[in-house]
């Protein structure tokens, strides 16, 4: 790969619409992103969504990560196109490894049916009174043991169904009381508390997590500043890579969130890569996506040290893609009967959760 292609591999980007127009096709061919993320605005049904993803993939000879937020509950991009998936919190409350695995299996099958190969789940944040208004049923337990009890079988089921999972939101939003979409959470946890509680799911599951998403929360009592974790070498390089010894792919949370975008998209993109991150997630604005790409490319062309960071990140992404080669392929299109059967299974799990 040349440098332009390597920078493209660091992008996971969103776009508008349910079909791919000529302008978007040309834009994708120019950027050649490492991945795409779709939202409810892009999805009508399985047939349309698969056609859209296949058209997107045709813009690049390198297999893409085809990503979707599909946790269940309040974060479910297939809710209207398929069926409302129960939340992770509802499933975890039943304290059944079998049902946690079933949740992962249904989410994996739903993702594959619609053409996706990557799901931004499970949430590994600890539930707390401070974050309940923000996280709701997305956080499954107040302690690491409960989080792991849900996440381990969930991840196993995703993998068995050919889907790449992503643990989030490192190092933990469990004690944040504001939404990082709107402002920067400042979580005043000590290092001792973080290491012995919030970071335990990542420490325990580090070999089972194909990907880890970094949050836009600041931890001033630990770092001595208000830099979000997503732009912090302390959290990404020193803690996740070195201390926890995580060797998988590291992706940012959406860099359009107000918690981080106050710095400018150019600054956020460069700081994330310099801090040891791999994939820049930018979900909406085409202008911001292009600016981030051009800034990272220009800096890599002029700075030897930054170019080394870019090359290392691109190599990590490509090594992971080679490992995930079977998962990156499109599975056969489901029949209408298979889609209806999947829908009924999701509704059945929802009924089990409602009964408690």
Q: How many residues does the chain have?
A: 356
> Distances in Å between the alpha carbon of 32 and those of 11, 35, 55, 65, 227?
8, 9, 13, 12, 30
Strand partners, 66: 36
> Distances in Å between the alpha carbon of 29 and those of 17, 22, 26, 321?
17, 11, 5, 19
> 0.95 exceeded by the pTM?
yes
3 state SS of 123: strand
Q: Tally Cβ neighbours within 10 Å of residue 245.
A: 10
**Whole-number pLDDT of residue 76:** 97
Which residue numbers are catalytic? 181, 253
Nearest in space to 108 (alpha carbons), one of 354, 350, 353, 345: 345
Q: Could you report the per-residue pLDDT of 91-112, keeping only the tens digit for each?
A: 999 999 999 999 999 999 999 9
Q: Which residue, chain included where needed, has tokens 């000529």? A: 22
Q: Taking residues 215-230, report their average pLDDT.
A: 95
Cα angle at 270 between 265 and 276, to 5 degrees? Answer: 130
- Fold exhibited by the domain 16-206+215-225+301-355: TIM Barrel (3.20.20)
Q: Which residue, chain included where needed, has tokens 């690491």? A: 144
Lowest-confidence region among 86-95, 132-141, 164-173, 313-322: 132-141
* pLDDT tier, 356 (very low <50, low <70, confident <90, very high otherwise): confident
Q: Taking residues 295-309, report their average pLDDT.
A: 97
Q: How many helices (H) and strands (E) does the chain have?
A: 17, 10
Inter-residue contact 352 to 85 (CB < 8 Å)? no
* pLDDT tier, 179 (very low <50, low <70, confident <90, very high otherwise): confident
Q: Is the pLDDT of residue 224 over 90?
A: yes
Q: In b/e form, how buried is each residue of 220-230, taking b as 16+ CB within 10 angstroms? A: eebbeeebbbb
Q: Taking residues 240-253, report their average pLDDT.
A: 98
Domain boundaries, the chain: 16-206+215-225+301-355
**Whole-number pLDDT of residue 130:** 85
Query: Which two tokens mark 351?
Result: 């009924």
3 state SS of 12: strand
Q: Is the pLDDT of residue 258 over 90?
A: no
Q: Is the pLDDT of residue 202 over 90?
A: yes
Give the side-chain half-sphere CA count within 13 A for 311: 11
């Amino acid at each position: 790969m040349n440098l332009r292609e390597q920078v493209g591999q660091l992008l996971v980007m969103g776009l508008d619409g349910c079909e791919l127009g000529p302008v978007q096709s040309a834009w994708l061919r120019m950027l050649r992103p490492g991945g795409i993320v779709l939202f409810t605005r892009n999805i009508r049904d399985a047939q349309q969504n698969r056609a859209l993803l296949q058209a997107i993939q045709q813009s690049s000879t390198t297999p893409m990560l085809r990503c979707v937020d599909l946790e269940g509950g309040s974060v479910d991009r297939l809710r209207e196109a398929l069926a409302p998936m129960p939340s992770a919190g509802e499933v975890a409350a039943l304290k059944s490894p079998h049902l946690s695995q079933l949740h992962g299996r249904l989410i994996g099958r739903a993702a594959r049916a619609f053409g996706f190969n990557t799901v931004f789940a499970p949430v590994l944040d600890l539930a707390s009174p401070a974050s309940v208004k923000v996280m709701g049923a997305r956080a499954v337990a107040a302690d690491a043991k409960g989080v792991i009890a849900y996440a381990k079988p969930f991840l196993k089921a995703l993998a068995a169904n050919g889907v790449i999972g992503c643990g989030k939101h490192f190092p933990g939003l469990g004690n944040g009381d504001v939404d990082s979409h709107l402002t920067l959470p400042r979580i005043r946890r000590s290092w001792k508390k973080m290491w012995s509680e919030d970071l335990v799911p990542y420490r325990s599951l580090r070999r089972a997590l194909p990907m880890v998403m970094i949050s836009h929360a600041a931890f001033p009592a630990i770092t001595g500043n208000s830099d979000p974790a997503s732009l912090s070498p302390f959290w990404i390089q020193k803690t996740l890579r070195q201390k926890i010894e995580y060797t998988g792919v590291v992706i940012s949370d959406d860099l359009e969130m107000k918690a981080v975008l106050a710095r400018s998209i150019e600054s956020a993109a460069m700081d994330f890569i310099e801090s040891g991150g791999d994939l820049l997630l930018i979900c909406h604005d085409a202008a911001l996506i292009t600016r981030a790409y051009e800034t990272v490319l220009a800096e890599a062309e002029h700075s030897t040290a930054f170019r080394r960071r870019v090359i290392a990140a691109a190599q990590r992404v490509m090594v992971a893609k080679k490992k995930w080669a079977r998962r990156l392929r499109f599975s056969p299109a489901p029949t209408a009967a298979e889609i209806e059967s999947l829908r009924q299974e999701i509704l059945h799990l929802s009924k089990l959760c409602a009964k408690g």
